């Protein structure tokens, strides 16, 4: 059985504000509007249309930050923490011989760094990452790329994501989908047990 896993708010939770706020000069107004401007440009960055070095230079300018490029990269990366409830299920699936594929909107500053920072990702041998594909969910192109690159049979592929629009697109492609909610992991476990029982 094949499982497509989103990363953000499924395998890792994240919060950009505390980390990026440390880069802002004291007294800068408005503070969090500048961070929001950075996050608004993530689409360009996460589809690979924006070079990482160019993004870093632009971001430091937006923040009016005295930080170095390396300090920004560190702050941009250190926003993640594991979704502890999910990893036992992932490890059970890996131990059971199921095929696990990452399917994520992400960027070149986060990957492959996140895989090195969190060695638990070693159970994932394959990945479809937006910045490498040039399209991000829910763009149909990234779903088709996943199907073509890994010869997936959507009817036999389970897809877990937290965003309703991504799940809706997955269903259009015929994937068996589950919209994950960080506050209700038990619902995922019930769905997973039913899917495994069905085979």
pLDDT tens-digit map of 62-114 = 999 999 999 999 999 999 999 999 999 999 999 999 999 999 999 999 999 99
| pLDDT tens digits, one per residue of 8-52 | 999 999 999 999 999 988 877 666 888 899 888 888 999 999 999
Measured distance CA(102)–CA(177) in Å, rounded: 14
Which residue ranges make up each domain of the chain? Answer: 2-13+81-198, 15-77
**pLDDT category of residue 60 using cuts at 50, 70 and 90:** very high
Average of per-residue pLDDT values in the chain: 95
Q: Rounded to the nearest 10 degrees, what angle do helices 52-63 and 69-77 cross at?
A: 90
Statement: residue 174 has pLDDT above 80 = yes
pTM: 0.94
pLDDT of residue 34: 87
Give the H or E element holding residue 160: strand 157-161
- Using a pLDDT cut of 90, give the percent of the chain over it: 87
For residue 42, the model assigns a pLDDT of 86
Query: Was domain 2-13+81-198 assigned CATH 3.40.50.1000?
Result: yes
Q: What is the pLDDT of residue 199?
A: 72
Q: Which two tokens stand for residue 91?
A: 């490890």
Whether the per-residue pLDDT at 139 is higher than 90: the answer is yes
Q: How many CA atoms lie within 13 A of 30 on its CB side?
A: 6
């Amino acid at each position: 059985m094949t499982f497509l896993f989103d990363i953000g708010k499924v395998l890792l939770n994240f919060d950009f504000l505390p980390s990026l706020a440390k880069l802002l000069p004291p007294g800068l107004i408005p503070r969090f509007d500048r961070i929001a401007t950075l996050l608004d440009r993530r689409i360009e960055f996460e589809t690979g249309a924006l070079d990482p070095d160019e993004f870093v230079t632009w971001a430091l300018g937006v923040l009016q930050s005295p930080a170095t490029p390396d300090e920004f990269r560190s702050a941009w990366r250190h926003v993640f923490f594991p979704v502890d409830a999910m990893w036992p299920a992932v490890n059970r699936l890996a131990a059971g011989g199921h095929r696990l594929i990452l399917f994520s909107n992400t960027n070149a500053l986060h990957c492959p760094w996140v895989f090195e920072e969190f060695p638990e990702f070693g159970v994932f041998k394959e990945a479809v990452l937006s910045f490498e594909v040039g399209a991000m969910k829910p763009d149909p192109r990234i779903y088709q790329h996943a199907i073509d690159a890994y010869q997936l049979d959507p009817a036999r592929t389970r897809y877990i994501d937290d965003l309703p629009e991504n799940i809706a697109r997955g269903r259009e492609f015929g994937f068996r989908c589950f919209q994950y909610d960080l506050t209700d992991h038990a619902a995922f476990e019930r769905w997973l047990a039913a899917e495994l029982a069905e085979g």
